[in-house]
Chain A
């Protein structure tokens, strides 16, 4: 177990270093000199030089890289090139927003997706199963912002149940926080629910065909108890999809953050990439990868718990 953790940790750190290094050089290669974008070309050369010196852009690239990575290793991601605030401070503000929405969306899709997946798996070809199949295609084909806009129009503008925009921090008001993340989470979760349900349903049917299920039934176990066995065996695929979903949403919630005006990492990604604020982009990359590594680690733990055979590989 310890060696398992150590191995995963090592692999995670390696991934973190590789991805951030890649992003560092890609961003520098792609963006080039950021000062005109940050300052406007009307700035005098002296002002541009001053900014370059201030952000350390006048040094050789490798020196900048070493400077960045050695500081990042201690948790210091430097300062934004635009407003000179520490990147860490911005991330501390932004990450909880995206995390609230994504975690809530993941929970929603886990609970509802599992329920729907089981119901469909129990009665394949039934009405619910056919609805699920159709829904999966429809939600797959619908552009993401459509769903968000429909939700806003119904639940925020017509019914006034939820705010149309904005994020309320839970330390200000827990109910306000819940209200503010409901619509964004639901718009993210809709697609995810369908995917989890599909995956669980297919896994369910696959496991249902396995020998041990017949043996369990032959021992006289009730349908409900057999279902519990099948479910546990079918859950790894659904859990894996959930983890992938979480990872995908973490970096891909940009449109939802824009439509709901959430100050999360998605909207920060967009604005930072537009003006070429490389330290912010790198901080975002690092944070995202850390979460991905954590989630994958958790996933491995859970999968090992669900199916002990996995543990010994």
Chain B
């Protein structure tokens, strides 16, 4: 998944999961302006987004929190539905070749960009080339070798290697179509030029503080966007955000789970979805730095030692699902029956450690950054009880991103994917900062299953292989997942939010009346 994520976003995911801050005085029991508004007729969407838009240039934008901003002014080639399945947008239909190395898409006719430029296959090719070379967006197109306009509204994408998650990433936020003229002029950083459902009202917007969008009269997908006006407010501080929600300045909010009781008091709608997994990442699972970690029993011992449910309840405000797997708990690969495998058992953990030849435990260095501080006490104590002495190295977040991969293991809060094959590549097979040594080759069974999954027919067959792989990885204690943390959104009565795993904040099509 991190081909789509910058490190900053993982940091943010962690921050969000930590539930940074939440408060107003208990006395502030106002009914919530939005709460009292009659359902059905909210004409203005006022959403508090955790972060400011990174860039109006889709190639320089992040996925996580840029979705709502970009989806207001740009149309994607491919969108996602509520199950994160790719659905048509500017591409009205598509077809894979038999070897799944060529994707042919038919494009929507009659769409023009705000500057009058026409959307056609040539424009799409210009956009995709721009995205492929983009410093941030390029990661989605690593396996793509070329784009061609077959005719005015037929696009062909050639792949160098089969990639079953390409459409997912395009739908997630890597196929926003901008005016080819603006791309050529390199003017997108100054302001968006797209074909999206809303016009950016620059006069009434204050960059980095509030963005106002007004609905276009005749957009091809008008029905998907019910609000005449959309206002987006970047608010990082959860206290400020919650106060804004309470005072009626917002009617949708990226929320802190600690405020759930208060949200219920106010009668708000609450939507949650798994977004990140929390646990211990074994960067050195082959034991090159710390020999002990190369032993399956040691990793299992660590998995047995942690009281996942306790940590979830205490540190994670109970907002999530305790599990030892990292395919989303609401997906098809996830196997609930396996969750009991590492039920907390310190005696067993110690036994395993002794069996592996470490009855007295061992010493290990781990990095620590303030945003992971919430989990540190529990981790430190559990390791201590197990006999593993941890020497914590304090560092700031950018340093953590930089240095964590050099440590044999570290605490992890890592964003998850809504697509099963994307999960496979991001969490298992490709090197990422949080997974610096995939080491699939060192585990022949894993390697075989990965190969099978990559070759399998998408659908039930592929899922079946992934389930086997999942079971294998849990058995190997490939990582020690404690729980999957939810992202939570509050909205006033009359607005519902449908969260998508993989998007830190859903795009506007997932915010509807109702």
A–B contact (CB under 8 angstroms): yes
Chain A nearest CB, measured from B473 CB (Å): 20
Can you report 20 A-B residue pairs in the complex whose CB atoms are below 8 A from each other?
Answer: A38-B8, A39-B136, A40-B10, A41-B433, A42-B2, A42-B431, A47-B138, A83-B55, A84-B60, A85-B55, A90-B208, A93-B208, A164-B244, A166-B233, A166-B244, A172-B206, A274-B11, A274-B396, A274-B398, A275-B8
Count of CB-CB pairs between chains A and B under 8 Å: 153
A152 interfacial contact with B, CB 8 Å: yes
Interface residues in B192-210 by Cβ distance below 8 A to A read 204, 206-210
Residues of B in contact with A, size category: 35 or more
Complex interface: chain A residues within 8 A of B189 (CB): 83-85
Contact status of A157 and B28, CB under 8 A, knowing A84-B55, A164-B240, A165-B240: yes
A50 at the interface (CB under 8 A from B): yes
Complex-state Cα separation, A241 to B30, whole angstroms: 40
Which of A69-77, A117-125, A253-261 participates in binding chain B? A253-261
Decide: B139 and A37 in contact? CB cutoff 8 A.
no
**A156 to B135, Cβ gap below 8 A?**
no
**Binary interface profile of B, 128-169, with partner A (CB < 8 Å = 1, else 0)?**
000000011011001000000000000000000000000000
Of B3, B396, B402, which is within 8 A of A42 by CB?
B3
The answer to whether B7 and A41 touch across the interface, beta carbons within 8 angstroms, is yes
| 9 nearest A-B pairs in the assembled complex, by CB-CB distance | A41-B433, A37-B398, A40-B7, A263-B208, A164-B247, A164-B243, A157-B28, A40-B6, A263-B209
- B405 nearest CB neighbor, chain A only: A41
Chain A residues closer than 8 Å to B209, beta-carbon distance = 97, 166-167, 261-263
The listed residue with most A CB atoms (<10 A of its CB), out of B236, B240, B241, B432, is B240
Tell me if A67 is interfacial: C-beta within 8 Å of chain B.
Answer: no
Q: Which chain B residue shows the least CB distance to A274? A: B397
Q: Which residues of A contact B142 (CB under 8 A)?
A: 44
Q: Which of B19-27, B35-43, B303-311, B349-357 contacts A (4 or more CB under 8 A)?
A: B19-27
Count chain A residues whose beta carbon lies closer than 8 angstroms to a beta carbon of B. 52
Bound-complex Cα distance A264 to B23 (A): 22
Q: Is A303 an interface residue (CB 8 A)?
A: no
Bound complex: CA A216 to CA B6 (Å): 72
Q: Of the candidates B2, B8, B246, B398, which one forms a contact with A164 in the assembled complex, judged by CB atoms under 8 Å apart? A: B246
CA distance A82 to B5 in the complex (A): 14
A310 beta carbon closer than 8 Å to chain B: no
Contact B401 A37 (CB under 8 A): yes
Shortest Cβ distance from residue A302 to the other chain B in the assembled complex, whole angstroms: 33
Question: Are A42 and B5 touching (Cβ within 8 A)?
Answer: yes
Q: Are A163 and B402 touching (Cβ within 8 A)? A: no
Q: How far is the CA of A259 from the CA of B5 in the complex (A)?
A: 27
Contacting pair A163 B247 (CB below 8 A): yes
Contact surface of B with A, Cβ cutoff 8 Å: 2-3, 5-11, 23-25, 27-28, 30, 54-55, 60, 135-136, 138-139, 142, 189, 204, 206-210, 233, 235-237, 239-241, 243-244, 246-247, 249, 396-399, 401-402, 405, 430-433, 436
Is the pair A36, B398 in contact by a Cβ cutoff of 8 Å? yes
Is the beta-carbon distance between A157 and B30 smaller than 8 angstroms? yes
Additional A-B contacts beyond A36-B402, A274-B11, A274-B396 (15; CB < 8 A): A32-B402, A40-B2, A41-B405, A42-B7, A51-B135, A83-B55, A84-B55, A90-B208, A163-B244, A165-B244, A165-B249, A166-B233, A172-B206, A261-B209, A261-B244
Asked if B25 and A150 make an inter-chain contact with CB atoms under 8 angstroms apart, the answer reads yes
A157 touches B24 (CB 8 A): yes
- Name B209's closest neighbour in chain A (CB-CB): A263
Whole-angstrom CA separation of A150 from B207 in the bound complex: 28
Question: Closest CB-CB distance, A119 to chain B, in whole Å?
Answer: 32
CB-CB < 8 A to B210: which residues of A?
166
A83 CA / B66 CA spacing, docked (Å): 12
- B6 A258 Cβ-Cβ under 8 A: no
- Bound-state Cα–Cα, A84 to B436, Å: 28
Contacts A166-B209, A263-B206: A43 and B28 contacting too (C-beta < 8 A)? no
Q: Which chain B residue has the least Cβ–Cβ distance from A150?
A: B25
